[in-house]
Amino acid sequence: MKLIREIWQSIVRRDPLSTDKGKSELVFLNVWLHIHPAKVKKENLRFKHSFYLGFITFFLFIILVTTGIALMCYYRPYPPQAYQDMKDLQFAVFMGPFLRNMHRWAAHGMVVCVFLHMCRVFYTGSYKKPRQFNWVVGVLLLLLTLGLSFTGYLLPWDQLAYWAITVGTNIGSYAPLIGGQLRELLLGGHSVGEAALLRFYVLHVAVLPSLVILLTIVHFWRVRKDGGLSRPVWKLKPQKQEALVTIGAPAEAVPLHVAAASTDKTYGLMEVVTGKPIFETITPEEEEDTVFSYPYAFVREAVVLMGTVTTIMMMSLFMNAPLEEMANPAVTPNPAKAPWYFLGLQELVSHSALLGGVVAPALMVLALLAIPYFDRNPSRRPGDRKWVLWVFTLFVVANIALIIVGTFFRGPGWAWVPPWVHVVARPE
């Protein structure tokens, strides 16, 4: 028993969890957990502050990686095997449909949640100093998420996949000068074919996930270094701008001016806990507002993880990912639609190729990247930011409205069709 305890201690190297020191050490002596501070602000744990949307996005990505690796065992990225492997998954592989469904619904979920997470960060003004750069990292993550979903769309090699990617890459090719070349580089030719499938596969399973992992690490690191989550607006009050750190015993205390304190920091330099005071970085008043990450933050995150996995599993039990006939370049479905998140752009393209293919996407990305640097208003209170909130809300509503129009109101020849007239024009 003593030996087992010694081995366990050599691995965890910390005091028992019943002590405050043990709870802190659990976090900062653990390679995975030390992305958290040992203590967090109570109000930041409230569901209504962040809706845990960043975590849900991250957990969906984990589901995608795990189910994706399993799918790779059954999938060969060249036609017509790619399609046949899909059929095998559907009919021959044990729990194949469930695996494929989980991957598909988690992918759609990630696109939705990353967008909602961005909206939460915007509406709470959490992109403001010192978090400007993390917002930019976030925008890149949003683009990578769309890229991951788009490249995965082609892999089943059915009619839906083939024509969605044909339409999607056509939208991109309207960009002046480089549009055509970019499309050719992506497709490995003039049209979607064998080369395109292989390139999309490489991007989907290697390049883009690696970039997402890399940027997610930077993103989390910045959340931590920017002082944890921004304080909920209702809790903001004027804070002192300077911190005094006192080193040594009180009698020989040397006040040392370190730096201007962040007004909404959720942790100190190091988490020093009752019983072992070496130095102090937070006031007793702030200390009262905090709780140990273990168990308070971890339990909530575990619940969110279980909720996310359960939701995706339930969806996968009851809803099947579509699989149409094998891709056929000679038979164009009418209408051929891009993946749903690009349907707003396709709707714009139907009015003006330049607007939908170039101006709107370029403006959207540039505007998103520029937001934290152009919005100089330091206040995060909604009352002080009325017009920015209106502009952003307009952007969100316009995006959603165009996607709804493209999804439900467009029929053959891209003509206006009310959704209750269920017209799905089948290829001849």
E strands in 202-250: 242-247
- Say which residues have a Cβ less than 8 Å from residue 225's Cβ, sequence separation at least 6: none
The C-alpha atoms of residue 236 and residue 23 are separated, in whole angstroms, by 28
- Say which residues have a Cβ less than 8 Å from residue 42's Cβ, sequence separation at least 6: 289, 290, 291, 296
Q: What is the largest CA-CA distance in the chain?
A: 90
Please tell me whether residue 59 binds ligand HEM under the rule CB under 6 A: no
Cis amide linkage into residue 295, ω under 30° from 0: yes
- Give the residue, chosen from 38, 40, 45, 54, that forms a contact with ligand HEM under the rule CB under 6 A: 54
Compute the CA torsion angle 305, 307, 311, 317 (nearest 10 deg): 90
The C-alpha atoms of residue 232 and residue 58 are separated, in whole angstroms, by 22
E strands in 228-369: 242-247, 254-260, 279-280, 290-292
- Give the residue, chosen from 24, 67, 173, 230, that forms a contact with ligand HEM under the rule CB under 6 A: 230
Per-residue contact flags (x/-) with ligand HEM for residues 340 to 379, judged by CB under 6 A: ----------------------------------------
Please tell me whether residue 223 binds ligand HEM under the rule CB under 6 A: yes
What's the token pair of residue 122? 């915007």
**Cβ closer to ligand HEM: 212 or 261?**
212
Tell the smallest beta-carbon distance from residue 396 to ligand HEM (Å): 13
* Terminal-to-terminal C-alpha distance of the chain: 74
The three-class DSSP label of residue 175 is coil
Tell me which stretch binds ligand HEM (CB under 6 A): 10-18, 34-42, 48-56, 200-208.
Answer: 48-56
Phi, psi of 288 (to 5 degrees): -65, -30
Task: Answer whether 47's CB lies under 8 Å from 56's CB.
Answer: no
The three-class DSSP label of residue 252 is helix
What's the token pair of residue 44? 């930041």
Tell the smallest beta-carbon distance from residue 213 to ligand HEM (Å): 10
Tell the smallest beta-carbon distance from residue 141 to ligand HEM (Å): 4
Tell the smallest beta-carbon distance from residue 332 to ligand HEM (Å): 34
For ligand HEM (CB under 6 A), the number of binding residues is 28
Tell me which stretch binds ligand HEM (CB under 6 A): 46-54, 77-85, 291-299, 389-397.
Answer: 46-54
Tell the smallest beta-carbon distance from residue 219 to ligand HEM (Å): 5
Please tell me whether residue 55 binds ligand HEM under the rule CB under 6 A: yes
The C-alpha atoms of residue 53 and residue 271 are separated, in whole angstroms, by 26
**Binding to ligand HEM, residues 114-153 (CB under 6 A):** 114, 117-118, 121, 126-127, 131, 134-135, 138-139, 141-142, 145
Tell the smallest beta-carbon distance from residue 107 to ligand HEM (Å): 12
**Cβ closer to ligand HEM: 146 or 349?**
146
Tell the smallest beta-carbon distance from residue 90 to ligand HEM (Å): 29
Per-residue contact flags (x/-) with ligand HEM for residues 81 to 120, judged by CB under 6 A: ---------------------------------x--xx--
Residues recorded for the chain = 428
**Cβ closer to ligand HEM: 70 or 364?**
364
Please tell me whether residue 229 binds ligand HEM under the rule CB under 6 A: yes
**Cβ closer to ligand HEM: 50 or 151?**
50
Tell the smallest beta-carbon distance from residue 8 to ligand HEM (Å): 30
What is the b/e burial string over 62-100, where b = at least 16 CB atoms within 10 angstroms of the residue's CB? ebbbebbebbeeebebebeebbebbeebeeebeebbbbb
Tell the smallest beta-carbon distance from residue 227 to ligand HEM (Å): 8
The C-alpha atoms of residue 411 and residue 337 are separated, in whole angstroms, by 10
Tell me which stretch binds ligand HEM (CB under 6 A): 47-55, 69-77, 170-178, 412-420.
Answer: 47-55
Task: Look at residues 125, 203, 164 and name the one whose alpha carbon lies nearest to residue 392.
Answer: 125
In terms of phi and psi (left: phi > 0; alpha: psi -120 to 50; beta: otherwise), the region of 228 is left
Please tell me whether residue 53 binds ligand HEM under the rule CB under 6 A: yes
- Give the residue, chosen from 14, 24, 45, 50, that forms a contact with ligand HEM under the rule CB under 6 A: 50
The alpha-carbon radius of gyration of the chain (Å, integer) is: 25
Please tell me whether residue 165 binds ligand HEM under the rule CB under 6 A: no
**Cβ closer to ligand HEM: 118 or 326?**
118
What residues line the site for ligand HEM (CB under 6 A)? 50, 52-55, 57-58, 61, 114, 117-118, 121, 126-127, 131, 134-135, 138-139, 141-142, 145, 212, 216, 219, 223, 229-230
